[in-house]
Structure 1
Amino acid sequence: MQAEIAARRPFPPPSPSSLKSFGIPTPYGFEGARRGSVSAESITLKEGINRPDLPFYEKTPEQLARIKTAVLTHFLFKNLDPDEEALVVGAFKEVEAENGHVIIKQGDPGDFCYVIETGECHIYIVDFDEEKEDTLAAQGEPDIDDTIEKTRYGTCVTIAKPGDIVGELALMYNAPRAATVVAVEHCVLWALDRLTFRTILLETTTKKRRMHEQFLASVPIFKGLSQYERFRIADALEVVTVDKGKYVFKQGDMGDRFYIIESGKAAVEKTFTDENGNAETHTVALLGKGDFFGELALLKDQPRAASVLAAPNPRTRGSEALRLVSVSRDAFVRLMGPAENLIRDQQYSDAPIKLRDDFTVG
């Protein structure tokens, strides 16, 4: 395994954004400098053309859990759906590095990111800003013999430990490495290359964007928009995951978001009060993939007319969480202007959208 690493140029590596994930400022001269080598490949997947075979490497359940814990909370990975997660996690390859091995070298081109499974690595920056160095020292960080260590690799600014991810900027850009990463003991790491990640992400993002645009086209308030305008809204959608039995919102809450169901089931509950003041709650609708609710929150500042919660899915024996995509009123207004214009321009009814059983969700 060590020969394999040595054959590849000092172990492909971490990056500026990896430093930010550790709370470290981007090295001086990286941002704003005119670097001809900073670029990103243009990857295109055409309709009807199969993607290249993606690598897959077997892992133990414990290894899978560690990789997921490290990567799926990172901004690059956190919006992946379960199928995408499986592709990305499966593509990580196990590599090893001995004490003193340079995994990443500052200034080298980057094409891999790494998740550390075992061992520790020191991260060094050349020309580390003296003022920031003093600040770190005053804060007592990083804790390397209570000092900031300087070596031939530069200033040691932090320690990467098991579960940390380094080099993730390489997944987005063909950018020079912003730091040097050196193993200080035997390390086992998992490596993911840029082209594999971008192929997976581009393919899934393209499909998801198209699906979201089609969802939006079925919503009355959006029907009068052009496809381009719907794509703009689709790009602003945020992923929301709700565990079974948890509420998306409750009746009476003020509404400021619109939701579309991407997967799972949602139950709509409404509480009625009889003439004697007795309250009863009934499930009045069950919603599934492609159904939407809360669109009136984009138009009006009013309380929710019902409660919506994640419901068990009979097909998955109730184990599937509710996965939604959502856009806020503020984001919608920034993209499209005041929502009232949609009502005027498209003669959108002032009445709430009707759901099953003559029930409305606003």
Structure 2
Amino acid sequence: VRTLCVEKAKFEGLNIVQPKMKRDDRVKARKMIGSVSTALQIGKRKGSTPPDMCAITGHKRVLAYQKTAEDRQMISKGLKDNKILSEVVGLTQQQCNQVVDGTHLIEVPQGTHVFKKGDLGTALFIVQEGLLKVDLVTFEVVLRIGDTFGELALLYDEPRTATIEATRDCRLWVLPRTMFKDMLQSTAVLKAKEHSMMLHQVPVIREQVDLALLSVLAGALEETVLDKDEFLCVRGEDEGMLFLIVSGFCTVTDHDEDDEGKTGLLKGDWVGEKQLADMVPATRTVVVKSEKATVLALDNYHFDLVRQASQDHTVLQQVRALNGSAQEVSNWLKKRRASTTQRRPSTISERGVPLRQIKDFDTVGALGEGNFGLVLLLRDKETREEYALKGLNKQHLEQEKQEAMVKNERNVLAVLDSPFIIHMHGCFHDSHFVYFLLEVALGGELFDIYNDYNLWGKADKAQFYIACVALGLSHIHSKHIVWRDLKLENCLVNSQGYAKLTDMGIAKMVTGKTYTVCGTADYFAPETLKQVGHNRAADWWALGVMLFIMMAGHSPFDAPEVTQIYKNIIKGLSKVQFPAAFPPEAEECVRSLCRKKPEE
């Protein structure tokens, strides 16, 4: 046998192999949703948990134990030494103290598992006494006094990746995810109160909005940072918008003849009161004159939402009885408005086309298979129109606690109507399945197209597809919805070659910001990981990541471990090496979309 050998370095130097993305665990969709399943699991435990047992872990709780100064110091050090909490979340000293206050002590006897691989993660642990071993199948790790483990459970709902067993009697400090999230959001609550005070200074808001609903308006504010000589608003444009100055200095350069307002705007000033109240264009042009200016923007949609509610005594009573957060009250008001106003037709029958049964279609073939069922290509026997039918198994949905996600996707698709988003023609069900009758896109996933036709690094193709996605995103955001699941796999291509967005299961109608960590790790924005609240800026960040992947063939934050991916994301693009062949215009676009500060 004769063989020819080529050294790896020389082979790579030939440049005959193009980069090819892989569908690995990091790039594939991972729905990381911590609110529903966790609440259900904890809720079940609480109903049957004795008082001396920890409802989070199921282990014995040490009651009437007072933390000593040494305990607090050890817990604090453990938190600061944890790379996820220090480098990704970036806990301040004040937050660290709050976390220490929120921990409680449990006992785990020798030979007992703290948790097993595959268990739902809901808390972080810090070792106070004893030894534990981490079973990673191929090797073991020993945990000692002061060590922390289970920190990813604080970020999102994902099964444990290893089994941890006490090799000696142990005492562990437990930090529940719910406590951790409450602590992180407390900062946002304080900022919302400050913004509420600023809003209350605006006469039209003070006169027409009830104090009980002021927090809803504060939650709807969108923060933006403008550079010197940028326009805050332009005369004849910015219809229905109010702008409040948080910092910086702005001047009025153009205005209507009858506009006699201030010509210099400082912190606490505002512009656009008439715009907001009457849904009219701006009467002034305002330009930033300081190096930077931080501005809060409020739109007429949210103002009108709370103004109408403020005028209805019954609604105000219901809001007070609800006693919920600003986001909860806002969502309740939106649902109430939707139920009392005419909605866009969302089924075939409502659009004047008879709603048919499954037997009225011919099954052409299978388009794909998902976690909960099949996607079939159907052809209407009468019209010969083709549709995609997504069938979701009800039993499987119930087992996986995904009913709410399906209802959410139906509700979101019902309000979207864009040539760059997969259209829902109808939604119905039988005893076994829930069906979505959707617009068909026979080109398949953009991810597969890039792999099959080796489009990585092709600037003209990336430019076209990014434009399609940007138009789809703009429509989604115009409906006050944040998608949170943008990636190549969720972009389908139709027979004309246009990209269309699909899979709205974790999209959310948002007033202001949302705090749930969900989506795909490589596309997370820094504010999503830090859990300081994210809005539509997170979708634009994901678009920048997607453009980088299309041009480079890999994620800008790629790493072997998820924790390192998170740390790379927090660092932003400052340490990312753009390939030499990356066009300058594309690099500028990526850097503009992927800003570490979303308000920029």
TM-score tier, shorter chain, comes to 0.3 to 0.5
The TM-score with structure 1 as length reference comes to 0.42
The TM-score with structure 2 as length reference comes to 0.27
Structure (1 or 2) with the greater strand fraction: 1
